[in-house]
């Protein structure tokens, strides 16, 4: 069975992606931790910076977590001064807005991830980086990324 041996010698793409994903998650989390953020904080800030009309449920779906967990995430951002929450009245969803501090954190986080990109992928040509970006984007189309389907994280995470 030459096909099986060849696939084994080259390595399972799925398993390589899992290993790379774990390493990248740790590296990004470490970079964000220096700013006092988690990847979840960064994601919520980034989504809100583009659409302040998003509800806790919308944000939770995009992050693949429970609404209760997203409440804890937003509460932490609010305590940090990165987000303000306006309660328009009974029966209406809270309005969440990124503050000047939140925009500053987003800028610094963007700079940190750009540094990490240069460090980790700087040895690749621009065409190779574009190919990698295209291939990874094909695995998680924007509609799937924004929908979020996993509810695996506990409410205390935030």
Hey, where are the domains in the chain? 29-146
Q: Which ranges of the chain would DSSP assign to H, the alpha helix?
A: 2-10, 13-33, 39-50, 56-63, 67-79, 100-121, 126-139, 142-147
Q: How far is the C-alpha of 86 from the C-alpha of 3, rounded, in Å?
A: 60
Strands 83-86 and 95-98: antiparallel
* Least confident span in 38-52, 65-79, 131-145: 131-145
Q: How far is the C-alpha of 15 from the C-alpha of 110, rounded, in Å?
A: 28
Specify the pTM. 0.74
- Domain 29-146 matching CATH 3.40.190.10: the answer reads no
Predicted confidence (pLDDT) at residue 63 exceeds the cutoff of 60: yes
Among 45, 37, 44, smallest CA distance to 69 is for 44
Among 80, 39, 40, smallest CA distance to 59 is for 40
Give pLDDT, residue 95: 85
User: To the nearest whole number, what is the mean pLDDT of the chain?
Assistant: 83
- The residue count of the chain comes to 158
Asked if 61 contacts 148 with a C-beta cutoff of 8 angstroms, the reply is: yes
Report how far Cα 126 is from the mean position of its chain's Cα atoms: 23
């Amino acid at each position: 069975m030459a096909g099986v041996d060849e696939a084994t010698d080259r390595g399972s793409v799925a398993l390589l992606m899992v290993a790379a994903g774990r390493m990248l998650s740790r590296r990004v989390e470490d970079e964000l931790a220096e700013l006092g953020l988690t990847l979840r904080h960064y994601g919520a800030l980034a989504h809100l910076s583009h659409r302040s009309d998003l509800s806790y449920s919308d944000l939770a779906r995009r992050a693949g977590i429970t609404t209760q967990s997203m409440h804890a995430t937003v509460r932490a951002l609010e305590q940090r001064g990165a987000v303000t929450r306006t309660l328009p009245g009974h029966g209406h969803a809270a309005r969440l807005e990124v503050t000047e501090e939140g925009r500053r954190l987003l800028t610094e986080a963007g700079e940190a991830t750009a540094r990490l990109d240069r460090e980790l992928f700087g040895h690749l040509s621009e065409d190779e980086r574009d190919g990698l970006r295209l291939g990874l984007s094909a695995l998680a189309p924007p509609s799937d990324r924004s929908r979020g389907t996993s509810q695996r994280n506990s409410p205390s995470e935030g």
